[in-house]
Amino acid sequence: MAAIAFESLIKLFAFLAVGFFVTFGLYDGFVDLFEKARATPGIDPVFGVTASSSYAQWVTITLLSMAAIICLPRQFYITAVENTKEEHLRKAVWLFPAYLLVINIFVMPIALGGKMTFAGLGADADMFVLTLP
């Protein structure tokens, strides 16, 4: 458990560092980033459901993402096997959602920054965290 907690803190720190760099280093904050993204052609689908996507696709992706929290082996192991005391559950009920909220603050800024920086270059979106800095 200590190794998983340490790994999660390292991931959180690294992701927040890249997020701050993209948001406040490459751009002048959230407002500037989102205004430039809104003005960039081809990025509109990121901001919502468009003619090329559908609500069914959005709901499907959301449900699959939510199911992954429980269906992934490590998540199940931590939830079902390592939870030996009720105090653990009380702490996890607020700590895990807080962790997810904090780590996801910079997902959109990194995605938009990568889309604008590497527009037309065919860069892999999975690598934006590594390639933007």
Secondary structure of the chain: what % helix, strand, coil (to 5)? 75, 0, 25
CB atoms within 10 A of CB 7: 10
Contact present, 113 and 33 (Cβ < 8 Å)? yes
This prediction's pTM: 0.76
Q: What is the pLDDT of residues 35-60, one digit of tens each?
A: 898 888 877 666 666 666 677 877 88
Contact present, 111 and 46 (Cβ < 8 Å)? yes
How far, in Å, CA of 129 to CA of 87, rounded?
A: 35
How far, in Å, CA of 8 to CA of 5, rounded?
A: 5
Residue 51: its pLDDT value, please?
Answer: 60
